[in-house]
Amino acid sequence: MCPHRLVLEHVTSRWGVLVLIQLLERPYRFSELRRAIGRVSEKMLTQTLQTLERDGMVHRDAKPVIPPRVDYSLTDLGREAAAQVRDLALWTEKRMTEVLAARQAYDEARTP
Amino acid sequence: MCPHRLVLEHVTSRWGVLVLIQLLERPYRFSELRRAIGRVSEKMLTQTLQTLERDGMVHRDAKPVIPPRVDYSLTDLGREAAAQVRDLALWTEKRMTEVLAARQAYDEARTP
DNA sequence: CGGTATCCAAAAGGATACTG
DNA sequence: CAGTATCCTTTTGGATACCG
């Protein structure tokens, strides 16, 4: 598999999309981000953030305090990706009526 | 899960992305599309095409001849989606250098 | 040719418990 | 608080065989 295809999979992955769009708004702490996204396990959020950090999309700022505090934000690269992903998400929202109509036509043609 | 999130997952799915980008060029027959994409099983290509057809992105034209001939093409809706997906794919290609640099820095910071 | 059906392997994902 | 580690379930994907 070509390497840039993998990056595309990271940013368009189930949780990657939601993380990028959320961080486009402002930086978030770990638990705060988890609550904002909703119904994501710690494991998947950790994994998604690590992948996006490794790809240079997300910046991780761990403050050496007790209790630990870690802030996540977008890099310049991440902001570019996030903006495109958000546009695609907004497009699907805007076109939802057409999609639902197409589905109904498709389903009705097959269950007479 | 909100419905438009599912549509987003369809168009950004592993094979969905490749199908949309390929069909942006011109219509394709089933086997022809399979060869063009490479290393996709019949099952996954069928499944992907059905999902995209149901969502109103892909048009399926089955000609009643022997041997069977089926042509797949993009609808207007599909062309809009495909263009955005292709742009995102082109962006990841363009930014690959930065991503690779970020990865190297990430990996080196963790294996001294 | 263009599928469908079945079975199986691999990967993704979640719940829980534990740690610095 | 922000993770790791472990275990288990669900989903995804591929190989194969068969059908119209």
pLDDT tens across A75-91, in order?
A: 999 999 999 999 999 99
pLDDT at A3: 81
Whether B84 sits inside 8 A of A88 (CB atoms) is: yes
Whether B77 sits inside 8 A of A96 (CB atoms) is: no
Distant-in-sequence contacts of B80-83, Cβ < 8 A, 24+ apart? B80/A91, B80/A95, B81/A88, B81/A91, B81/A92, B81/B11, B81/B20, B81/B57, B82/B20, B82/B21, B82/B23, B82/B24, B82/B57, B83/B24
pLDDT at B112 over 80: no
C3 C1' to A63 CA distance, Å: 57
- Distance, in Å, from the CA atom of B49 to the CA atom of A60, rounded to the nearest integer, reads 39
Give B9-49 pLDDT, tens digit per residue.
Answer: 999 999 999 999 999 999 999 999 999 998 899 999 999 99
pLDDT at A112 over 80: no
Instruction: List strands edge to edge, sheet with B28-29.
Output: B28-29, B69-74, B58-63
- Distance, in Å, from the CA atom of A85 to the CA atom of A97, rounded to the nearest integer, reads 20
C14 C1' to A34 CA distance, Å: 14
Strands A69-74 and A58-63: antiparallel
- Distance, in Å, from the CA atom of B5 to the CA atom of A103, rounded to the nearest integer, reads 15
- Distance, in Å, from the CA atom of B84 to the CA atom of A50, rounded to the nearest integer, reads 26
pLDDT at B53: 97
The percent of residues above 90 in pLDDT, for chain A, comes to: 88
Residue A55 at interface with chain B, using a CB cutoff of 8 Å: yes
C1 C1' to B42 CA distance, Å: 12
pTM of the predicted model, to two decimals? 0.93
- Distance, in Å, from the CA atom of A5 to the CA atom of A20, rounded to the nearest integer, reads 18
Measured from the Cβ of residue A18, the count of other Cβ atoms closer than 10 Å reads 20
Tell me the mean pLDDT in the region A34-61.
Answer: 96
Whether A7 sits inside 8 A of B56 (CB atoms) is: no
Q: Where do the domains of chain B lie?
A: 3-110
Nearest chain B alpha carbon to A98: B56
- Distance, in Å, from the CA atom of B10 to the CA atom of A102, rounded to the nearest integer, reads 14
pLDDT at B88 over 80: yes
Tell me the mean pLDDT in the region A37-46.
Answer: 95
pLDDT at A63: 92
Residue A12 at interface with chain B, using a CB cutoff of 8 Å: yes
Q: Is the peptide bond before B3 cis (omega within 30 degrees of 0)?
A: no
pLDDT at A25 over 80: yes
pLDDT at B1 over 70: no
pLDDT at A111: 77
- For domain A3-110, the question of CATH label 3.40.190.10 is answered with no
